[in-house]
């Protein structure tokens, strides 16, 4: 039986610049540039809907400048948006510099995203929901961290399971590992990439890092990029999931695709046991492989409006 997924996180505008050669300081570098909807939380929600989950919702804060466009994009992707409009701060923007090898570097202006406040939260958002997913970006400001913690506590009180994507090794380092781990305490599933897992544990070997994290969180799924993923529980690695080959064009959002597909598979019945969690991780790897073949962080859509300011 399918169950509802609520994502709380970031909805931002992505500016993706693909450059074939190295960046040339103090002059021009030729690039293909596109403006797309993005945000780790929103991307994960869209990939969950793309993976077949029909009840996917997102709570986020955006500027009034582009709220209508983002709502349209989310609805077209099969996600029910609960977007709080901020009249004082514009929607967050991320500039993604993608090199010839499809590796990306982000310049992030969080804008309204991290202004999501406890006043924006309502317990009724959990009605019909059996899983809550929190984007790690929420934990990097006092206001949105308080909101995330509030939602986590209320979800646990209702018996709703909770997952967290740590989101950014750079931002975790700025906040501090201990503060981050304390803030996400109580989550049932942690979904770090390999760099985040290493930072959170101080252990260089991904399996060791995953095993250590699984002493804090019941299930840990670490994405390894082109090497697939691994699962850990109760202090040990339980499975290694092979990668799915793909011709990479842009690695933006590959981890979000894994998260969305992984959660969709578990909520649709593929989770709940070791073997089924492996199946969910395999679904995540397939979605991640798909994601790197498209530009931007979401599944491709047709017939949507141009971004604000484009015409």
Predicted confidence (pLDDT) per residue in 166-177, tens digit: 988 989 999 999
pLDDT value at 40 more than 60:
yes
β-strand partners of 288: none
pLDDT value at 304 more than 70:
no
User: Region 252-276: what's the mean pLDDT?
Assistant: 83
Percentage with pLDDT > 70 across the chain: 94
CATH class of 4-23+30-291: alpha beta
Q: In the structure, what pLDDT confidence band is assigned to residue 271 with cuts at 50, 70 and 90?
A: very low
Which is higher by pLDDT, 114 or 308?
114
pLDDT value at 73 more than 80:
yes
Residues 6+ apart with CB under 8 A from 292: 102, 246, 248, 249, 250, 251, 254
In Å, what is the CA distance from 8 to each residue of 45, 107, 307?
Answer: 9, 22, 23
Average pLDDT value over all residues in the chain: 93
pLDDT value at 310 more than 90:
no
Q: What is the pLDDT of residue 305?
A: 55
Domain boundaries, the chain: 4-23+30-291
Cα gap 211→6, rounded to integer Å: 27
User: Region 105-115: what's the mean pLDDT?
Assistant: 92
Cα gap 232→206, rounded to integer Å: 10
Buried b (16+ CB within 10 A) or exposed e, 128-153: ebbbbbbbbbbbbbebbbbbbbebbe
Residues 6+ apart with CB under 8 A from 273: none
In this prediction the pTM is 0.92
User: Region 188-215: what's the mean pLDDT?
Assistant: 98
Contact 212, 202 (CB under 8 A): no
Dihedral in degrees, nearest 10, Cα atoms 113, 228, 3, 56: 30
Rg of the chain over CA atoms, in angstroms? 18
Buried b (16+ CB within 10 A) or exposed e, 243-265: bbebebebbbbbbbbbbbbbbbb
Q: In the structure, what pLDDT confidence band is assigned to residue 152 with cuts at 50, 70 and 90?
A: very high
Which is higher by pLDDT, 168 or 12?
12
pLDDT tens digits along 80-108: 999 999 999 999 999 989 888 888 788 98
The residue assigned the tokens 């190295």 is 22
pLDDT value at 273 more than 60:
no
pLDDT value at 274 more than 60:
no
* 293 alpha-carbon distance from chain centroid: 18
Q: In the structure, what pLDDT confidence band is assigned to residue 247 with cuts at 50, 70 and 90?
A: confident
**Helix, strand, or coil (residue 26):** coil
Burial status of residue 3 (CB atoms within 10 A of its CB: 0-12, 13-18, 19 or more): middle
pLDDT tens digits along 120-136: 999 999 999 999 999 99
């Amino acid at each position: 039986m399918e169950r509802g997924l609520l994502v709380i996180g970031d909805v931002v505008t992505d500016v993706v610049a693909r450059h074939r050669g190295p960046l040339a300081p103090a002059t021009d570098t030729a690039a293909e540039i596109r403006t797309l909807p993005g945000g780790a939380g929103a991307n994960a929600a869209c990939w969950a809907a793309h993976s077949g989950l029909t009840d996917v919702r997102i709570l986020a804060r955006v500027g009034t400048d582009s709220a209508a466009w983002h709502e349209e994009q989310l609805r077209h992707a099969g996600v029910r948006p609960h977007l709080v409009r901020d009249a004082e701060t514009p929607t967050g923007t991320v500039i993604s510099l993608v090199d010839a090898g499809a590796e990306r570097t982000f310049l992030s202006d969080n804008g309204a995203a991290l202004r999501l406040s406890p006043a924006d939260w309502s317990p009724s958002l959990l009605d019909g929901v059996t899983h809550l997913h929190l984007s790690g970006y929420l934990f990097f400001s006092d206001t949105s961290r308080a909101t995330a913690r509030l939602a986590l506590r209320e979800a646990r009180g209702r018996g709703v399971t909770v997952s967290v994507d740590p989101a950014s090794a750079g931002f975790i380092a700025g906040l501090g590992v201990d503060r981050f781990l304390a803030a996400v305490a109580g989550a049932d599933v942690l979904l770090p990439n390999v760099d985040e897992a290493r930072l959170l544990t101080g252990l260089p070997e991904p399996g060791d890092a995953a095993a250590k994290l699984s002493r804090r969180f019941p299930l840990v799924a670490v994405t390894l990029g082109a090497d697939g993923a691994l699962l850990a529980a109760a202090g040990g690695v339980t499975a290694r999931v092979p990668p799915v080959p793909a011709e990479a064009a842009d690695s933006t959002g590959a981890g979000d695709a894994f998260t969305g597909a992984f959660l969709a598979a578990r909520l649709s019945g593929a989770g709940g046991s070791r073997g089924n969690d492996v199946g969910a991780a395999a679904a995540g790897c397939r979605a991640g492989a798909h994601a790197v073949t498209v530009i931007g962080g979401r599944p491709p859509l047709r017939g949507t409006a141009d971004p604000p300011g484009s015409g």
